[in-house]
Structures are given as C-alpha cells and as structure tokens.
Amino acid sequence: MNWNAISFDWNHVRAFLATVEEGSLSAAARATGQTQPTLGRQVAALEEAIGVTLFERVGRSLTLTTSGAQLVDHVRAMGEAASRISLAASGQSQSIEGLVRISASDVLSVYQLPPVIAQLRDRAPGIEVEVVSSNAISDLLRRDADIALRHIRPEQPELIARKLADSDAYLYATPDYLSRVGNPKVVDDLKAANFIGYGAPDEMLPHFVAMGLPLTRDNIRYHSDSGVVGWHMVRQGLGIGVMSEQVAALTPDIVRVLPDLPPVSFPTWLVSHRELITSSRIRLVFDHLAEMLG
C-alpha cells in the first residue's frame, strides 16, 4: 500500500459522494445532517487535495465534470466499503444498550409500533429506539435503519427476512358518510362515492379496480402520500378508504363498507442485515418485533 498516495480526507470523499447521489449540495446536507456551506467546503477541499475539478458551478446548480464522472464509480465503491465496515462493527457489538433504528410505514409506526416499543422498554430499558417512519423502502445496506418492517420480501442476499403474518385490508368509512351516499349495499352503489387515495390517484386507481370496484380517476377526490393523513381523511368523513383490519380495529369511529367484499391480503416481513443480526441488541429487538407482531 502506497500510503503517501492517499492525500485526501474520507469525510471530503463522503461529501462528494453524497452530493452526487442526492443531486445537490442542499439535498446532500439534509441527507448527511450537515450544513450546505460545510459540505461545499469539504467538496472544495477534496478538489484541492486531488487536483481535480469535480463540479462545474453554473449559478446555483452543480454539474459533474468529465473528471468527476470518472471518479464516481471508485468513490461509490469506497462508500460501500465504508458501509460494510460500519455494519461489521455494529454486528460485533454485544452490548444490550444502545440505539436501534426501526424503519416502518407511517401507519404501522403510529398505530402498531408504540405499544410494542413500550413492552420492549420494560424488557430492555437500556435500548434506545428510533422509528424511521417512511413509506419508502429503507436501504438497510447503507444503514438507513437496522431493522425494517416491509410488505414485500427483500431480494438482496445480504438481508435476512422473516415473514410475520398475512394481513387483510377492507374498505372503511364513517357511518355518516355512508348515509350521505345512500348506504351502499352492492359494488355498483359505489360508483358515485368519493375514495381516499394513498399516493397519486393514477397509481391508486388500479388497486381499487383490482378489488372489483367500478371506479374512475374522478372517484379519488382526496389523496395523500401519507397513509396516516389518508386514514384521517376517512375518519373525517371525506370518503371511503382501504385499511388493514388491525388498524381499523383500533379506530372506533369507522365501519366496514360492503362486509362481504373479499379482502386485500398482504404480507409483513421483518428484515435486517445478516451482519447486523449478530449484534445482541439488534437481535433482541428483531426477536421482540417478531414475537409481538407475528
């Protein structure tokens, strides 16, 4: 190894990689928890250290130079190696104290995780829990979280997954809203009803149609990327929405629409990294989640 040839600081390389991956200094600053000026200085310091201009600066935008683009694959490989080092170090930790980050959808984070975490507190009071509430799939290989709850099975061989359960989802609304639309008795009675979408209407419509509902884009009058916001729209009587049976059971002010309509079934998977699961604290939380949510 020619140590004298390594003239740069890894933190400066990390700043460059984050800027490339996130698309701008401001987005990279949010992703890394630093300020934009700090990241800008780190990128400039890397350029000075290696004698290469990495970005063309046009107004407020940054564009990779040819030289910068040629370095991206090498820098990305360094980032992945750093992630593996972090994973291995975390996995070797045998302390039953410390932080465990759990990624889950916003609905699961609000309605189902808090009582599970309360029981974990009694079982392992030294463990600190951060809930990463997001409907996007977290990247466990890059340590977005230590453990994830997902509704699709991961395909990466570096991840381990345990299927917790299959859940059923049905249509729900408030009694007042159903009264206003004539108390639907059959599917065709829903043609004039408003529906709540979780995400863009054009993306949600095929799921409603797959349930056998005679809907068009115009039926989805209210929508949000947040499942919690969408569910509260249902609770406010704005329309009909889909929700898991478990969450609906925790919501006393709604009723099932067309009880004979077949449910939408979906799995829940508990996922972690193979190296992380050797950590006693992460294994304890993983097993606790499996026990309580399985």
Tell me the percentage of the chain whose pLDDT exceeds 70: 91
**Which CATH class name applies to 167-264?**
alpha beta
> What pTM did the predictor assign?
0.67
Under CATH, which architecture does the 98-163+268-293 domain have? 3-Layer(aba) Sandwich (3.40)
Confidence band for 90, pLDDT divided at 50, 70 and 90: low
Of 218, 186, 184, nearest in space to 201 by CA = 218
Whole-number average pLDDT of the chain: 87
| Rounded average pLDDT over 43-68 | 84
Fold match between domain 3-92 and domain 167-264: no
Q: What is the pLDDT of residues 246-264, one digit of tens each?
A: 999 999 889 999 999 999 9
Domain boundaries, the chain: 3-92, 98-163+268-293, 167-264
Under CATH, which architecture does the 3-92 domain have? Orthogonal Bundle (1.10)
